[in-house]
Amino acid sequence: MRDNNDMPGHLARRFQQIAVAVFLAEVGEAGFDLTPVQYAALATIKANPGLDQVTLAGLIAYDRTTITGVVDRLVQKGLAERRASPRDRRARELEITDEGRRVLRKITPAVESAQQIMLRGLSAREGEELMRLLRKAIAAGNELSRAPLRDMQA
C-alpha cells in the first residue's frame, strides 16, 4: 500500500498545517492577531481599492461564502470598511482603513519571516523549485476547486 509520505494530498495538508502555524507564531510574536486568510484579504483590498467581495474572492481563490466571514472580522477589527456600491446595489465595495494600512505595514516583517521559516529545511534553490512546482500544479488544477483563482475583470 502507498505510504502517507508518498501521497501528495497528505504532504499538502501537512505543509499547509506547518505554514499556518508558523505564520500565526511569527505574527503573534510581533504583537498582532491576524490569520493568513485575513492578511491575504487585507493586502488584496489595499492593492485594489473599492473592489467587491466576489472579485476579492477570485483574486485569492477563496470561496465566496468564506469571504463573508473573513470580511466581517476585518471590519469588526476596524481594518477594513464595507459599503454599498453606487453602481450595483447587490455589491459591497471594500476599502482599507488607516488602521488597516498601519497594521499591514507593521506586520510585513513578520509575514516575510514566516515565509522563510516554513522553507528553512530547503536551500534557496530548492525553495524556488518548490514554489515553481506548486505554481505549476496549482495552475493545472485551478478549475478543480469551487474557488478557482480569477483575474481582475476591468
Partner DNA sequence: TACTGATAGTCAGCATACTGAGCAATATCG
Partner DNA sequence: CGATATTGCTCAGTATGCTGACTATCAGTA
Which residues contact a copy of itself (rule: CB under 8 A)?
1-2, 4-23, 25, 36-37, 40, 43-44, 47, 60-61, 108, 112, 114-115, 117-122, 126-127, 129-131, 133-142, 144-147, 149
Quote the least distance from Cβ 132 to DNA, whole Å: 22
Contact (Cβ atoms closer than 8 angstroms) between residue 42 and residue 36 = no
Quote the least distance from Cβ 22 to a copy of itself, whole Å: 5
Which set of grid coordinates corresponds to residue 134?
A: 506548486
Q: Which does 43 bind (CB under 5 to 8 A by kind): DNA, a copy of itself, none?
A: a copy of itself
User: Could you give the dihedral angle defined by the CA atoms of residues 13, 19, 24 and 30, in that order, rounded to the nearest 10 degrees?
Assistant: 180
* Other Cβ atoms within 10 Å of 20 Cβ, number: 15
